[in-house]
Chains A and B, each alone.
Chain A
Amino acid sequence: MAPDPITLELYRHRFSGISEEMGITLQRTSYSPNIKERLDFSCALFDESGGLVAQAAHIPAHLGAMPDSVAAALAVFDQWQPGDVVILNDPYFGGSHLPDITLVSPVFLPPSNRENRAENGPQFFAASRAHHADVGGMSPGSLPLSTELYQEGIIIPPLKLYQGGELVEALLELILRNVRTPDERRGDLAAQRAAHAVGDRRLHELAALHGNDELLDYAGYLQEYSERLTRAAIRSWPQGSFTFEDPIESVVDGRTTPAPIRVTATIEDDTVTLDFSGTCPSIHGSLNAPLSVTRSACYYVVRCLVGEDVPVNAGCFAPVQVEAPSGCLVNARPPAAVAGGNVETSQRITDAVLGALAQALPDRIAAAGQGTMNNCTMGGENADGSPWTYYETLGGGMGAHPLGDGFSGAHVHMSNTLNTPVEALELAYPLRLTRYHLRRDSGGAGKHQGGEGIVREYEILRPTTATILSERRAIAPWGLAGGSPAAPGRNLLIDTDGTEEELSSKVTRRLQPGQRLRIETPGGGGWGKASS
């Protein structure tokens, strides 16, 4: 039976509507600022074999990682009953980095008459992933400058948190005993479960109206439809193999060395293979990426090139093959530390893939953006002795492109979280901002100029420990088609007497009142030769 194109469009709205509604429920009922304000979460529906049917993603970092979570749950469990919920965060088995906790639950629809379907198993799976504010480990916020996974927090392999609707209390108690803010975790997990309940309910409503056979059929047709759209787009690209290398900045004992990410993009007919052979081995530090993070970055790039209105499902990714040698920087093996892989290395993987494809599609790709999220974590004690911690990420320049200048002062590629207003920051923490403006002339020159970075300068009002996890401090974001590279970022410590000390890209320092920390974020690369 062939799909009816109208019903297909209706199901595209229905399935994506369900995943969006799950997302709204999660956002509204969660406690972690990362979830409810930064929108660092995703909700998705999967078919009986773990194929992604629909996903509501507010940040691209989860694109490729959600299917791995369901695959991990299916690999461990072959028996399901209604009310089961699997929990996991193991970056080496379905996760990405430890703060991202994923739940997977089966959906059992009323029995179908179809002979070729197993009558006893679930017909769909609902999954949600959310960035929890803390999962333990060596520093609050669980994004430490770590060197092995065990320092980063509690590791949860796929386990049933609920069995037939019954909470497995021992497991929850174990998890909560290993995090700094257990009540918040309990609330966030309840919020995720509430989202799953919405997904379950809406699928049942749809099945009651249209029959579960139609639901299952169209879940499959939608994947074929997205695959057709993606293949059609790739077929229009020039064939060939294109290699590009872009390094991250590995810092060991204060010394920076480039650690290259190398990718060869091979376009053949309607498929694209992204092969990371030649990438350096895992490094001593937290910037290693598990393969699911690497996949997310690759899928993000393909999605940018194929178009935003292709429904997100397994079909989008079927024509995209990602290969990376085991144990390399972008396919790390345990127990390599991965806290920064998701936030920083994912950006460089994106740059590398874009750089390779730019050789094939010179008029479709923008120059490199700032390529970092400029993670700043600060903390100390308030005047009344109570502790405070604060985490923020900073935007920078986006790359210029054939049609115009790059965006200034924005998050690029894998992130899109909001800033904290100056007036909100100063009201809440013993910090004062002395500057927050665009960093003039930091964008690369060219026919079109790269976007400008940002200058944000904090005056310290009480003793503060500051940790910076940043990239593109030594190696500038590249220009394209003759455009100039952007200015790399700078982290500066300004003493009370005005002397400036340049800090490394990854650093923890104890700061005193009157000292100022100035972060200058990278611009975006220029595009095309500047007319002189």
Chain B
Amino acid sequence: MPTALVGIDVGGTFTDFVLLQDGRLQVYKEATTPEDQSRAILSGLAHLGISPSLEGGAASNAEIVHGTTVATNALLERRGARTALLTTAGFVDVIEIGRQNRPHLYDLYQVRPNPLAPADLRYEAVERLDTEGNVLTALDEAALSRTAQQMAASAPESLAICFLYSFRNPHHEQRAAEIMRRSFPHLPISLSSDILPEYREYERTATTVINAYLLPLVGHYLQRLTGELGDLPIRVMQSGGGAIGADQAASEPARLVLSGPAGGVVGAFRIAQLAHESPQNGEEQGQKQSLPTQCRIITFDMGGTSTDVALCPDTVPRTAESEVAGLPLRLPIIDIHTVGAGGGSLARVDAGGGLRVGPESAGAVPGPVCYARGGDQPTVTDANLVLGRLDAGQFLGGSGAMELDVAASEHALAELGGRLGSLSLHEAALGVVRVANARMERALRRVSVERGHDPRDFTLVPFGGAGPLHACDLAESLGIPRILLPPSPGVLSALGLLIADVVHESSQALLVDAALLAAQPDPLQDMLAALEERVRTVLAAEGIEDPALEASLDLRYQGQSYELTVPLAMAAPGNAPSGPNLTAASIRQSTEAFHQAHADRYGYAMHSETVEIVTVRLRGTGPGADLHLPREPLGPSDASPARLGAKPVWFNANAAHASDCYDRSRLRPGHHFDGPAIVYQFDTTTVVAPGWSASVDERHNLLLARAGS
């Protein structure tokens, strides 16, 4: 076991480090180096005293888990490889037609982004399988050799091969890859039967092409990073919330596309889990802030340009349906909903005299007006500053790292108030915050109420630079009774990386009637055995010999177009189901679970309808680092030792409330105080609204509760 673990999360502005050594956590931030993310990583590691062994010296006994935006940025900025695509003859444009809908309903001027594999790099292979994978037209190998010669002229840097029904029979794709390799021995090739052996040709093709598009760039980045890290082992966070070794990560970069936000949800959920286990929870009398036994949280990660929310009903929610840069990505990701509202969202008055906030953002440059970098349009951050919620002297912990220009914010918001029809400065600022909150409230509603969850049963876990500023307002409008603020909300993503499990997941289309399969389960057993071998092979390379295996099935009523994923009970961890009877029972159990899930999510179930098993999934897990945050017994409730003073804060436009200010680093377990109050710490500022109270638990979490709840 390594003695030190480091989580490194690369964000747009900062690269965050969390070091776990000898049971202690250490936090560090380094400015991100966008042209080469590894530079900030190496200098941050050096700061933490962790050195790679490069010239035969002793490497630190440390292990690194990395959340990277290299794949995401390459996709969003279209900086990936020159990617060729080989398809079944007659179907060369599937990647361009997509689902034949247009992204904007009312836009006469829309332009389709160029497909990742453009028309002049798309080629056909004469071959055709039927729905069962039987050969209708054999692969024309001679013609394919000629195609390879034509392709050479266009000098592709990566190749994706996607044939119809390759999820039933990968042979044609594999044979085509062999033939192409003869002409291009060094060309990276992604096969759809490897990357996503599931049905629906557009989604499979798009996911495979994304993989091919990212392979050279991500591979190069990870190769350089591992080279520089020498003997220090490094894992990379995948979109689904599990980490995997750098080599495996480089071979399937499509799994890294949402690497960044995944860490935050994993970290928030783990912190919340620990807080729910705390003996303080429910056992001690008189604790108003006690948490329910189930860990049901809504994560609320508000950054500069956008806000990510995820609803965790006692588990981290995962899905295989997502869209990135307008393309479907059908690989496991954490189910996160994003809305374009953040601290940098710009406020403006539209032609009808209405106040609009976002989705346009001031970004890091010029940034909010108060950054004094040339921004002149007020942002949510400016509004928070004017209202006294942010403090010019306490920004980034009062480190003096950045001067905030309050007068400039006031000027911009007073002007906005004038344009809105003689609103006062504070009316305008409150308006900006309330409108931004309204947009985030809709995101929170979408993941909760609209999916059948009552927000009153959940705890809000805000993080990111701006989450804790807005948490009380949002909790108030959704009826959420509790808020849990982790000790370091600004580096929660890096913490999540550190504790992530090692995970590999594999899936395969099956497409059979569940009732028929229950009577004759062999096809499912065979498929599970094949998936198990794949998962075990990958995880063995990570040093995990005995992974926990979880199987699940994607089911639907015959005729539907969407599936729901439900667990499939396995005989014992790591064993194939031990007999047909057991499997039959398992399948029936899964079918029942599906009816229930359908009723929960959509309001009805159809027990007499045929249920179809569309996809089989197997997830193998090796445990990540165990997080034992230091616990301190609860002390006296008097929080005055941490009190910095008081200042006026506007919660309504008529008058400011005198609000106590606290230094988070001096708050001790047991401390208790009432809102209105402001809590300052290096990486964020927390607003405790009037009517809310705060207390510190044994692990230094700050628990906020609404009076009377």
Binding site for B on A (CB under 8 A): 2, 5-6, 8-10, 12-14, 17, 21, 24-25, 28-29, 33, 36-37, 57-60, 187, 194, 225-226, 228-229, 232-233, 300, 303-305, 307-310, 354, 364-366, 394-395, 398-399, 401-405, 407-412, 416-419, 421-424, 426-428, 432-438, 454, 457
Contact = CB atoms under 8 A, between A and B. Distances in A.
A12 B99 CA distance: 31
Nearest to B353: A5
A416 B438 contact: no
Contacts of B200: 421, 423-424
Given A309-B356, A407-B112, A424-B561, 9 more contacts: A21-B445, A28-B603, A194-B603, A229-B350, A305-B108, A395-B100, A416-B102, A427-B511, A437-B94
Contacts of B101: 395, 410-411, 416-418
Contact of B164 (A305, A405, A423, A438): A423
Interface of B: 90-94, 96-102, 104-112, 130-131, 164-165, 199-203, 349-357, 420-421, 423, 427, 430-431, 434-435, 438-439, 441-442, 445, 449-450, 511, 559-562, 601-604
B131 A427 contact: yes
A509 to B, nearest CB: 23
A421 B434 contact: no
B94, B97, B202, B441 — which one has the most chain A CB atoms within 10 A of its CB?
Answer: B97
A434 B89 CA distance: 9
Nearest to A409: B97
B352 to A, nearest CB: 4
Nearest to A25: B603
A395 B97 contact: yes
Nearest to A190: B604
Given A226-B352, A409-B93, A421-B200, A5 B100 contact: no
Considering the complex of A and B, which 6 residue pairs feature the smallest CB-CB distances, nearest first?
A6-B431, A395-B100, A409-B97, A229-B352, A28-B602, A435-B90
Contact of B111 (A36, A394, A405, A454): A405
A17 B350 contact: no
Contact of B105 (A308, A427, A435): A308
A404 B109 contact: yes
Given A228-B351, A410-B100, A416 B105 contact: yes
Contact of B97 (A6, A17, A307, A436): A436
A2 B420 CA distance: 12
B111 A304 contact: no
A221 to B, nearest CB: 10
Contacts of A305: 108
Contact of B99 (A394, A404, A418, A436): A418
Contact of B100 (A36, A365, A454): A454
A23 B218 CA distance: 41
Contacts of B131: 423, 426-427
A172 B438 CA distance: 41
14 contacts: A8-B355, A13-B442, A33-B561, A36-B560, A36-B561, A228-B351, A229-B350, A233-B351, A304-B107, A408-B96, A411-B100, A424-B199, A437-B90, A457-B90
B312 to A, nearest CB: 21
Contacts of B602: 28-29
Contact of B561 (A17, A37, A407): A37
Given A60-B106, A416-B105, A454-B100, A228 B442 contact: no
Given A60-B105, A437-B92, A5 B164 contact: no
Contacts of A228: 351-353
Nearest to B104: A308
Contacts of A24: 450
B108 A423 contact: no
A273 to B, nearest CB: 21
Contact of A419 (B92, B99, B350, B420): B99
Given A308-B107, A438-B97, A2 B421 contact: yes
Contact of B431 (A5, A14, A409): A5
A8 B105 CA distance: 25
Contacts of A402: 109
B611 to A, nearest CB: 16
Nearest to A437: B93
B102 A410 contact: yes
A187 B92 CA distance: 40
A17 B109 contact: no
A232 B352 contact: yes
A436 B105 contact: no
Contacts of B91: 422, 435-437
A225 to B, nearest CB: 5
Given A308-B106, A436-B90, A454 B97 contact: yes
Given A29-B602, A37-B561, A436-B91, A404 B111 contact: yes
Nearest to B111: A404
B109 A401 contact: yes
Nearest to B433: A6
Contact of A407 (B94, B111, B420, B450): B111
A17 B446 CA distance: 10
B50 to A, nearest CB: 47
A183 to B, nearest CB: 10
A5 B349 contact: yes
Contacts of A364: 108
A74 B561 CA distance: 38
A187 B605 CA distance: 12
A421 B354 contact: no
B102 A421 contact: no
Contacts of A58: 105
Contacts of B110: 398, 407
A426 B165 CA distance: 11
A9 B90 contact: no
Contacts of B349: 5
Contact of A408 (B94, B104, B112, B430): B112
A399 B98 CA distance: 18
A41 to B, nearest CB: 14
A2 B180 CA distance: 71
Contacts of B112: 407-408, 410
Contacts of A433: 90
Contact of A21 (B90, B111, B164, B449): B449
B423 to A, nearest CB: 8
A157 to B, nearest CB: 30
A59 B102 CA distance: 11
Contacts of B427: 6
B106 A304 contact: yes
Nearest to B438: A13
B683 to A, nearest CB: 30
A10, A29, A36, A402 — which one has the most chain B CB atoms within 10 A of its CB?
Answer: A10
A241 to B, nearest CB: 22
B109, B164, B356, B560 — which one has the most chain A CB atoms within 10 A of its CB?
Answer: B109
A225 B421 CA distance: 14
A9, A307, A310 — which one has the most chain B CB atoms within 10 A of its CB?
Answer: A9
A304 B108 contact: yes
Contacts of A398: 102, 110
A10 B438 contact: yes
A92 to B, nearest CB: 28
Contacts of A14: 438
A230 to B, nearest CB: 9
A442 to B, nearest CB: 12
B109 A366 contact: yes
A75 to B, nearest CB: 30
Contact of B354 (A9, A21, A365): A9
Contacts of A2: 421
A9 B93 contact: no
Nearest to B602: A28
B402 to A, nearest CB: 29
B201 A403 contact: no
Given A394-B100, A416-B101, A232 B108 contact: no
Nearest to B432: A6
Contacts of B434: 6, 10
B629 to A, nearest CB: 38
